[in-house]
Amino acid sequence: VIVQLIGRSLSHAQFYHGLMPRTYCEEIIKNIGDFLINGEAAFILSVMIEKKKVERVSHIRIVHHSGLWSIEDDETKKTSTIFSLIKLYEKEKFSISDATGPFLKSVVRRPDSYLIHEDIEVGEEIGKGAFGTVHKGKLRRECRLMLRFDHPNIVKVYGIAPGDTPVLIVLELASGGSLKSFCKKNDPVSSESLVLFARDSLNGMHYLQTMKVIHRDLAARNCLLGAQNELKISDFGLSHVGDTFHLETMKSVPVKWLAPETLNTGTFSHKTDFWAYGVLLWEVYSRCRTDPFPGLTNAVAKDLRISHHPPMEPLPNTSIAWKEIMNDCFMSVFFI
């Protein structure tokens, strides 16, 4: 409780980064003496130090005792507020951690995407999704990833407010709702719209590849629509930055959207994302009336993917160009 209350009083201090995790701090602290404060269960001073000619970020607890704040293991310097404690160490150039340690040189300022709770007006609830159910640590990681994106076919994140609980994320409003809901309300969806959905999702996936992001959960359920019904890929809770990702256990995975190499070895890559894109194409041209491999269990669908090529045929209403693209997605070796 005290962390939450004091954290609110620090909300306008540029050195306070709220509930962001240590990994975030270590990514943005670059030089000796650079520092910031973060905290969830306790306030932590994160500062770049050098020990034995090796630079690393040290995380030091700020402790509260008898109404005064001090740096852990150095109770000779105490002040009534965290703000005044930091200013004291800055002004007097007191060493951190030991007599030969660095002093606080430069505040690592919060990015422009850092928002303050009191500046956000929370409106009516418009739905529930992955953002409302994932673990908050994962939520912060997902938001940090999405802040990098700037593409019309990717849902935009405008900022994150991690200074208090609940952590708030400000997302672009996809006013057209979900792709699946749109198809249900407008059945039958026009062939022209299906082509646009296929094109938009392909453009979004290509952008993610240029950003070296593996989505890992591309499916119609994770596609939203903008004001002009332009498709936007969303839900990056499982995403990974890099060329490959290996999953040790294959529990609670969307089996019907996974490539054979993922099912066999637990490996995800940009190629397996485009396999999933082929399944998404099938969903689009089915007008989202059913999940892929209708009537089949996950086990049967898994065997079909591994033993048959292609594992699923394009639907009769699929245009010739998109049939070819779908079949290309299911090639055992596929390069974009």
SS3 of the chain: the string is CHHHHHHHHCCCCCCECCCCCHHHHHHHCCCCCEEEEEECCCEEEEEEEEECCEEEEEEEEEEEECCEEEECCEEEEEECCHHHHHHHHHHHCCECCCCCCCECCEECCCCCCECCHHHCCCCCCCCCCHHHHCCHHHHHHHHHHHCCCCCCCECCEEEEECCCCCCEEEECCCCCEEHHHHHHHCCCCCHHHHHHHHHHHHHHHHHHHHCCEECCCCCHHHEEECCCCCEEECCCCCCEECCEEECCCCCCCCHHHCCHHHHHHCEEEHHHHHHHHHHHHHHHHCCCCCCCCCCCCHHHHHHHHHHCCCCCCCCCCCCHHHHHHHHHHCCCCCCC
The residue written with tokens 């400000």 in the block is 170
Could you tell me the two tokens for 69? Answer: 């704040």
- Name residues whose C-beta falls within 8 Å of residue 184's C-beta, 6 or more positions apart in sequence: 288
d(CA 43, CA 284): 48
User: Are the CB atoms for 162 and 20 separated by under 8 Å?
Assistant: yes
Q: How far apart are CA 314 and CA 322, in angstroms?
A: 9
Positive or negative CA dihedral for 144, 148, 150, 154?
Answer: negative
Domains in the chain, CATH or no CATH each: 2-107 (3.30.505.10), 117-171 (no CATH), 177-329 (1.10.510.10)
Residue in 164, 200, 217, 235 annotated catalytic: 217
Alpha carbons within 13 angstroms on the beta-carbon side of residue 180 total 11
Please state the φ and ψ torsions of residue 21, each to the nearest 5 degrees. Answer: -80, 170
- Whole-angstrom Cα distance, residue 200 to residue 218? 13
**What's the confidence (pLDDT) of residue 163?**
81
Instruction: Check if 217 is active-site.
Output: yes
pLDDT per position in the chain (336 positions), as tens?
455 566 677 888 899 998 888 888 999 999 999 999 998 668 899 999 887 778 889 999 999 999 899 998 888 899 999 999 999 999 998 888 665 567 899 999 998 888 887 777 766 655 554 444 334 455 566 777 888 899 999 999 888 888 877 778 888 889 999 999 999 999 999 999 999 999 999 999 999 999 999 999 999 999 999 999 999 999 888 899 999 999 888 777 889 999 999 988 999 999 999 999 999 999 999 999 999 999 999 999 988 887 888 888 999 999 999 999 999 998 854 443
Amino acid present at 320: I
- Residues 161-198: b if buried by 16+ CB within 10 A, e if exposed: bbbbeebbbbbeebebebbbebbeeeeebeeebbbbbb
Crossing angle of helices 191-210 and 270-285, rounded to 10°: 170
